[in-house]
Amino acid sequence: MERTFQLILGYDGTAYAGWQVQLNQRTIQGELERAVEELVGVRVPIVGSGRTDAGVHALAQSASLDLNRWRDDAASLGRALNTKLPVDISVLRSEEVPFGFHALRDATGKRYRYQIQIGGVRDPFEYRYLWHVHGALNVESMCDAASYLLGTHDFACFQATGSERKTTVRTIRDLALTKGEGRGGQGRLTIEVEADGFLYNMVRNIVGSLVEVGRGNYSPEWMLKLVEGRDRNQAGPTAPPQGLFLIRVDYPPSPKSLQSTII
C-alpha cells in the first residue's frame, strides 16, 4: 500500500549546492534521496516545499514522499533516515499524512529569517550564519522602508533576472525587523518575512534593498518607487546566502483531522 510521509528537516546549507539535485554536486535533496534509497532499495523522489539556494539554511524545511515499501511507523522512518544522513542534515519530525499530500503544491505560506551582524568583530562561531555588514545601519529607516512592502504587490523588482513565474504578485503577511546582540555584544539585526509564496531570490533581494536604505544610500520612500517600477535593475544587491534560514512552511489547517472527518 502506498503511503505519504511528511518530513520536517533542519540543515546547515554551508556545504551544499542548495536543495535541488544537480549533476556532480552535493545537494540536500540528493542526500535525502540517497538515504531513502539505502533504506528501501529504490530511488523515490522527494518533494520539497521549495528550493533553497546554495549556502541557505533551514530550521524547518518541509518535504514529502510516497512510499510503498515502508512497513513501520513514521517516527521509525525519521530515525532510520537520520542514521543514513550526513551530520548537517537532520529529520526533525516525520509524520504520515493523507495520501497524496504534496509539500510544494499544498504549501500556503512560508516564513524566512535573515541574520545580519552590524559592525564589530567577526564571530568565529556565527560567520556561517550571518551577513556581516560593516558600518552603521539606520534601523528606523529600514523599518519605514519595510512598511511599504506589506500586503499584496507585484514584486517583479525583487525577482532574480532570468526566472519566469506566471505571476509576480505575492502577499507579504509579516515583515519584522528586530535588533539584538551577539555573544560578544556585536549589533545584530534579524529580518523575518512571511508571505504566501516567494519569487526566486526575493528575500535576499528585499534584504539587500533594505540595507541600502539602512546605509542611507536611499530614503525609505525609494522602496515604494522600486515596487511600482517593477525593475530588478533598480533594486539593491542580492544579500549573501549564508544569512538566510527557511524557518516555517504553512499548510491548510490540520489535513489529518480533515481526513478523519471524511472517513
Which residues here bind a second copy, judged by CB under 8 A? 10-12, 57, 59, 78, 82, 87-92, 121-125, 127, 129, 183-184
Nearer to a second copy, 132 or 153 (CB): 132
Could you tell me if 72 and 260 are in contact, meaning their C-beta atoms sit under 8 angstroms apart?
no
Active site annotation includes 250:
no
Which residue among the candidates 12, 53, 73, 174 is catalytic per the annotation?
53
Could you tell me if 16 and 28 are in contact, meaning their C-beta atoms sit under 8 angstroms apart?
yes
Nearest distance in Å: CB 11, a second copy: 5
Which residues, including other chains, have CB under 8 Å from residue 110's CB and lie 6 or more apart?
49, 50, 194, 195, 197, 198, 246, 248, 249, 250
Nearer to a second copy, 117 or 205 (CB): 117
Cβ neighbour number for residue 40 with a 10 Å cutoff: 17
Q: How far is CA 101 from CA 16, 69, 113, 184, 256, in A?
A: 27, 18, 26, 45, 10
Nearest distance in Å: CB 85, a second copy: 9
In angstroms, the CA 173 to CA 176 distance is 10
Nearer to a second copy, 162 or 185 (CB): 185
In angstroms, the CA 143 to CA 88 distance is 34
Nearer to a second copy, 124 or 252 (CB): 124
In terms of residues, how long is the chain? 263
What residues are labeled active site?
53
